[in-house]
Amino acid sequence: MLDRKAGLMGIFTQFRSILGKTEDETRQQSVPPKADFAPSAPVERRSRKRLNTHKDRRVLIIDDSATIVAALRKMLRSAGCVTLEAMDAETGLELVRQEKPELVFLDIVLPGMNGFAALRLMRRDPLTRTIPVIMISGNEQATEQFYAKRIGADDFMKKPFSRFEVFARIEDLIEADKLRRITLSSAGGVQAAATASS
């Protein structure tokens, strides 16, 4: 009788030992192994460089509003443009003749000579007649736009404007062959197509 009990106790002890090992092994398998590498650093969006498709494009801004000039300057320079600025038409016309910008943003309402008169003079001058001009104004009257087009403006833009609208107008001039297209070469340099304006 005692031998039978001892035998049963031995079997029970072995069973508990096996059961205990099984639970330990199960526990170990449920714990994920520690990573042997450091997690990758988060990528910041601002570290991605914006493609400067207008690099070194020379643009003249003629507007008596410091706010408008600052806004256009920031938008254009962020795309690689070089900006020139004038607060009145007379100074603007001098810069047009001296610097030969590729594009002019010209306000209509200016102190002294207005934008319409300045545009007329530009179109009469052989040195400046082919330079594209986008007229800007706080008014969106149809007569104002019509008159701007009639005396030679290439486009019209109402204040306030967005960055998207500014570059959409520039792209329209490129598509119309009034403004050179700047492309990036495979080596990362800048290539500029010739202006096809007449």
Tens digit of each residue's pLDDT (9 = 90 or more) over 161-184: 999 999 999 999 988 888 877 654
Structure tokens at 87: 């607060």
The matching CATH number, chosen from 3.30.70.270, 3.20.20.70, 3.40.50.2300, 3.40.1280.10, for 51-192 is 3.40.50.2300
Say how far apart CA 72 and CA 128 lie, in whole Å.
22
Q: What is the mean predicted confidence (pLDDT) over 17-26?
A: 48
Instruction: Decide if pLDDT at 30 tops 50.
Output: no
Those residues whose C-beta lies under 8 Å from the C-beta of residue 54, and which sit 6 or more positions away, are 76, 79, 80, 81, 167, 170, 182
Q: What is the mean predicted confidence (pLDDT) over 50-72?
A: 87
- Tell me what percent of the residues of the chain surpass a pLDDT of 90: 53
Instruction: Decide if pLDDT at 193 tops 90.
Output: no
Q: Is 122 exposed, middle or buried (0-12, 13-18, 19+ CB in 10 A)?
A: buried
The pLDDT of residue 41: 38
Say how far apart CA 63 and CA 78 lie, in whole Å.
20
Main-chain phi, psi angles of 105, to 5 degrees: -100, 120
C-alpha 175, offset from chain centre: 19
Say how far apart CA 132 and CA 153 lie, in whole Å.
7
HSE value, Cβ hemisphere, 13 Å, CA-based, for 17? 6
Q: State the CB neighbour count (10 A cutoff) for residue 90.
A: 15
Query: Which three-class secondary structure state does DSSP give residue 192?
Result: strand
The pLDDT of residue 183: 58
Main-chain phi, psi angles of 61, to 5 degrees: -110, 120
The pLDDT of residue 50: 44
Query: Which DSSP string do the residues of 108-167 spell out, in sequence order?
Result: SS-SSS-HHHHHHHHHHSTTTTTS-EEEEES---HHHHHHHHHTT-SEEEESS--HHHHH
Domain boundaries, the chain: 51-192
Structure tokens at 152: 């030679």
Closest of 155, 160, 147, 158 to residue 172, by C-alpha: 155
